[in-house]
Amino acid sequence: MYEKDPVKIFVVEDDPAYTKFLKYVLGLNPDYEVEFFTTGKECLNNLHKNPAVVTLDYSLPDMPGEKVLSQIRAHDPNINVIIISAQEKIGTAVDLLKLGAYDYITKDHETKDRVLNSINNARNKSSLIKEIDYLKKEISEKYEFEKSIIGSSVAIKKIFSLLEKACSTNISVSISGETGTGKELVAKAIHYNSKRKNKPFVAVNIAAIPRDLIESELFGHEKGAFTGAITRRIGKFEEAEGGTIFLDEIGEMDPNLQAKLLRVLQEKEITRIGGNQVIKLDVRVLAATHKDLTEEVKEGRFREDLYYRLLGLPIQLPPLRERGNDVILVAKHFLDNFTKENQMPKFKISQEAQQKLLQYPFPGNIRELKSVIELAAVMATEQEIKPQDISFNNSTRIESFLHQEMPMEEYMYRIIRHFLNKYDNNVLEVAKKLNIGKSSLYRYLKEMEAAGI
């Protein structure tokens, strides 16, 4: 969490009486850390101490106030400079504000209140800038590849290699993979590791927006453009200006809107619905889908020209069942996060529970694993997750076997394992459910054990 430091303030003033006054006024606030200087040169020589606020006497003995102001601004434009002067010339004040002064205060009977208010406002501005910088840094670190995408399998290392290429240019990226493989996470990792990381990341789920609203959502509209358009609306492309727009489930886009999106991508400009103003865009486009877009193109459901415009650098995310021991690494990651968030003691995953996780094909991929692990942590009676704490969506488990190609014997073994887990290793019950003899089931179990299944 971001913590506020004491506010460092420089006071540059050559009048001893006024210096004494400011020392008293600023000393009333324990959050202020104040240093006093009598010349502009002394102040400039100490800028390495990074003050948040400088109160600057306009008439110094060694150099004019505007020169000191210019050099402070050149060193760090985020330093808030408050000019304090005996002059009441409006033109001088305006010129100094144009040069970047935060405020201009004349020396009179109201100076105390004005100085305190101005410093307080400047402090809040400075703190906000620091907090924003901190949050940006925190987000960037959160989406470092190795921190946001957990795994060490060959399949995931290939993804890391492609992500590095994606981050070094502005090329469009098309991300494909089954539902739950982490497509939006990958899109965020690309954005927050690119040169656009300090600009907006805007995600749009095409499938979640009603068809008659998607154009307005993407490109915006003017007041009165259609019934219900009571105010102007800025679209997602404008929101993402300078940054990245992530078009999730792009395969669900209506063919009529595909043509409009193609034109936007080609011309790099939009016109809001009901408007005439052409708005130039500088936006990087990342798109994702769980569909096979080449098949969608063949079937005439997706425009071929748009497909090639979006294709750019293709990244195919592997399903969790093809990532080997990554299942355990990701499970431990989710478990640690869940226990920390809920102030629970640290949990382990037993070897038997790990084997159970490795044997399950996870048709819902990472999203399903997260759900399974969090439920297991809740159900566990000890600080160790055991096989009985882990439950899967049994209605999809058998069907999910069809995603894998394996010998018939292994299908049979996995079906038996499924029912043994379901019925708590009750061999008699499983034999009855599968309509096979108990001796046959024991023989299968022995063969499974020998095969390491």
Query: Residue 438 sits in a domain of what CATH number?
Result: 1.10.8.60
pLDDT of res. 449: 66
Q: Which residues pair with 106 in a beta bridge?
A: 85
Residue 390, both tokens: 């882990």
Nearest to 194 by CA among 128, 131, 284: 284
pLDDT for residue 146:
58
pLDDT above 90 covers a percentage of the chain that reads 43
Query: What is the token pair recorded at 255?
Result: 């063919």
Do 61 and 46 lie in a common domain? yes
Measured distance CA(188)–CA(142) in Å, rounded: 10
Find the mean pLDDT for residues 92-98. Answer: 79
* Residue 145 pLDDT exceeds 70: no
Locate tokens 């069907």: which residue? 399
Rg (CA), the chain: 32
Q: Tell me the average pLDDT of the chain.
A: 84
Q: What is the mean pLDDT of residues 61-73?
A: 88
**Lowest pLDDT segment from 21-30, 137-146, 147-156, 374-383:** 137-146
C-alpha count within 13 angstroms, C-beta hemisphere, residue 91: 0
Which amino acid is residue 390, in one-letter code?
I
Task: Render pLDDT for 167-195 as a digit per residue (tens, 0 to 9).
Answer: 989 999 999 999 899 999 999 999 988 99
Q: Using an 8 Å Cβ cutoff, are 143 and 196 in contact?
A: no
Are 246 and 354 contained in the same domain?
A: no
Residue 242 sits in the same domain as residue 385: no
Place of tokens 């795994």: 151
Please indicate, yes or no, if residue 2 is contained in any of the structural domains: no
Indicate whether 397 pLDDT > 60. no
Q: Are 40 and 17 in contact (CB under 8 A)?
A: no
Q: Which residue has the higher pLDDT, 421 or 430?
A: 430
Residue 47's CATH number: 3.40.50.2300
CATH code of 233's domain: 3.40.50.300
How far is the C-alpha of 125 from the C-alpha of 295, rounded, in Å? 53
- Which of residues 290, 318, 346 is at a domain's end? 318
**Has residue 79 been placed in a domain?**
yes
**Whose structure tokens read 């995408």?**
149
pLDDT of residue 176: 95
pLDDT at 259: 94
- Range in 112-121, 133-142, 410-419 with the lowest mean pLDDT: 133-142
Beta-carbon contacts of residue 244 (< 8 Å; ≥ 6 apart): 187, 190, 191, 194, 196, 199, 200, 201, 202, 283, 284, 285, 286
Domain end position, chosen among 297, 318, 339: 318
22, 96: one domain: yes
Q: How many Cβ atoms from other residues are within 10 Å of residue 237's Cβ?
A: 24
User: Quick one: what percent of the chain has pLDDT higher than 70?
Assistant: 86
List CB contacts of 432: < 8 A, sequence separation 6 or more.
none
Q: Which residues pair with 81 in a beta bridge?
A: 54
Burial of 37 (0-12, 13-18, 19+ CB in 10 A): buried
Of residues 233 and 87, which shows the higher confidence score? 233
Among residues 318, 352, 375, the one where a domain terminates is: 318
189 plus 312 within the same structural domain: yes
The answer to the question of residue 146 being in a domain is no
Position with higher pLDDT, 113 vs 30: 30
Residue 117 tokens, joined: 């208010």
pLDDT, residue 428, reads 81
pLDDT value, residue 52: 87
pLDDT at 218 over 80: yes
User: Is 120 part of a structural domain of the chain?
Assistant: yes
Residue 41's identity, in one-letter code, is: K
Whether the predicted pLDDT of 402 surpasses 90: no
Residues 310 and 327 occupy one common structural domain: no
Number of domains in the chain: 3
Q: Judge whether residue 436 has pLDDT over 90.
A: no
What six digits make up the tokens of 8?
A: 């460092």
Upper half-sphere CA count for residue 92 (Cβ side, 13 Å): 15
Question: Are 235 and 327 within one domain?
Answer: no
> Does residue 49 lie in a domain region?
yes
- Could you tell me if residue 445 is inside a domain? yes
Same domain, 269 and 326: no
- Listed in order, strand segments (DSSP E) in 30-141 are 32-37, 53-57, 80-85, 103-106
Q: Which residue has the higher pLDDT, 78 or 417?
A: 78
Identify whether residues 108 and 62 lie together within a single domain.
yes
Query: Residue 390 — very low, low, confident or very high, per pLDDT cuts 50/70/90?
Result: very high
159 and 289 both lie in a single domain: yes
Residue 341 to residue 191: CA distance in whole angstroms: 26
Residue 408 lies in a domain: yes
pLDDT score recorded for residue 130 = 60
Considering the domain architecture, whether residues 337 and 403 belong to the same structural domain is answered as yes
SS3 57: strand
pLDDT at 345 over 80: yes
d(CA 262, CA 411): 46
- Residue range 334-359: average pLDDT? 92
- Regarding whether 167 and 156 lie in a shared domain, the answer is yes
Helical residues (DSSP H) of 278-403, grouped into ranges: 293-298, 304-311, 326-341, 351-359, 365-379, 394-400
Question: Quick one: pLDDT band at residue 430, thresholds 50, 70, 90?
Answer: confident
Give the pLDDT score at 224.
87
Instruction: Answer yes or no: is 144 within a domain.
Output: no
Q: Which of 277, 173, 183, 265 is nearest to 225 (CA)?
A: 277
Domain holding 438, by residue range, is: 321-451
Confirm if 244 and 191 have CB atoms less than 8 A apart. Answer: yes
